Amino acid sequence: MLFDNKQSKFENLVRAYSAELYRYAFWLSRDRFQAEDIVQEAFARAWKSLSSLRDPNAAKSWLYTIVRREHARQYERKRVEIDSSQELDDLADTGGENIYDAMEMREALESLPENYREPLMLQVLGGFNCREIADMIDTSTGAVMTRLSRARLALRKFPGFDRGRKVTAK
Amino acid sequence: MNCFEFRRLIFADPRQVSEAMLRHKEQCADCAQLSRELEGFEAAIREAATAQVPEALAERILLRHQSVRQPKRFGFWFGGWALAASLLIAIAVAFQLDFRPAGEEAKVVTAATLGSNHPAVATIAYVLDNEPQLLKANLSGDMAVLLDSLEKTGLKLPVDRTTIRYLGKCPVPPSGQGDHVVLQTAFGKASLILITDRTFDSTVVVADRSMLALAAPTRSRHGSLILVADSLKTLKRFEAILM
């Protein structure tokens, strides 16, 4: 048995996944305060239905789905104005020239249509494959593959891609 | 596999490279080059997508979780057990704490006995319900005001290995206000409420909602303090370094 009881199981989930769920929620809401609220609420809901989680290996996708639904429930219809200067503060501090690459790539990610960006974030941040993403966003695997392909093709038009190409061509 | 199929698959998920894709890469220089390019490209996407996670996020989630788990939500039966547990904690506190000025008897009670408007009980509720949000703001108050309050009350803040995670004002029932300081040390976190315009008559220790609060007059009898922590040990250590 991985967890001794409900409380320790919950605490393990919070410590294991809160950071990556926050990053996912951040890209859903594009606001750090809303992202934290979403994650807080998602874990509150997770606690209530924790007994339904039979397979510990499914915990990650289960939590991502809760976050996604929580975002839809709370914020999808009341988007706030995004303060772009604040968003720059929320970038991971990669240091040096990379920060500029990340800024350009970030702009590119923001410019993607939401139905392209969301599966991309699930794959990049959550590490899910196309089938898992399809289950989570309730669509077909083929549709997810199409969206992911189009997302990457769109991102290739941005300058960050050129830099990535130079690095890998060395 | 042809180039079209290879590209369809690799753009959908560059990490999932099947044997058929590997064989195609060996035969097609263009697709092999594309595959290499996408490796760096994926790293750039991941880097750009990685937002900075707020400090102590997991701790705030767990703190809020504690506050959400109200006894009344579990009905009368569980509420009764929770009340009994609080009482046991209170009794344990009575035996172990020695916060009292000389000659004064500490009163150890449950929240139900004092009522929700008592400063100690209200402070526990305030800490549990508001602190997770307030902590996001970090140090937001005026340090000069805090220092003035400390001087008035004769208290001292620990200087070594102590972080002030939040500084601000908070309400103190019935209509007062206190300096709200969240202190983090190596041995734990505590919320301190400094009240300069009111001196409690006696020391009270309350156990409620899995937290403990001490409300006491300062030793100088100029003002009062309320300390909230999640364990008796933490409460005792903070009291020892403040007084």
Contact at 8 Å (CB) between B153 and B194? yes
Question: For all residues of chain B together, what is the average pLDDT?
Answer: 78
Please enumerate in sequence order all residues whose Cβ is within 8 A of that of A10, keeping only pairs 6 or more positions apart, or say none. A43, A46, A47, A50, B65
pLDDT for B192: 92
Q: What is the pLDDT of residues A36-62, one digit of tens each?
A: 889 988 999 999 888 888 787 889 999
Contact at 8 Å (CB) between A41 and B65? no
User: Residues of B with CB below 8 A from A41's CB?
Assistant: none
Q: What is the pLDDT of residues B154-206, one digit of tens each?
A: 887 766 566 777 888 889 988 888 998 888 777 778 999 999 989 988 888 88
A120: amino acid identity, one letter = L
Vertex B206, ends B200 and B210: CA angle to 5°? 145
Q: How confident is the model at residue A82 (pLDDT cuts 50, 70, 90)?
A: very low
The minimum CA-CA distance between B49 and chain A, rounded to whole Å, is: 7
In whole angstroms, how far apart are CA A39 and each of A24, A28, A29, A55?
9, 11, 11, 21
User: Residues of A with CB below 8 A from B36's CB?
Assistant: 168-169
State whether residue A145 sits within 8 Å of chain B by CB. yes
Asked if the model's pLDDT at residue A170 lies above 60, the reply is no
Question: For all residues of chain A together, what is the average pLDDT?
Answer: 78
- CA separation for the pair B13, A145 (Å, rounded): 8
- CA separation for the pair B190, B41 (Å, rounded): 46
- Select from A26, A40, A98 the Cβ nearest to the Cβ of B47: A98
Query: Look-up: residue for tokens 């409620």?
Result: B208
State whether residue B117 sits within 8 Å of chain A by CB. no
CA dihedral A70, A76, A78, A84 (to 10 degrees): 100
Is-above-0.90 flag for pTM? no
A79: amino acid identity, one letter = R
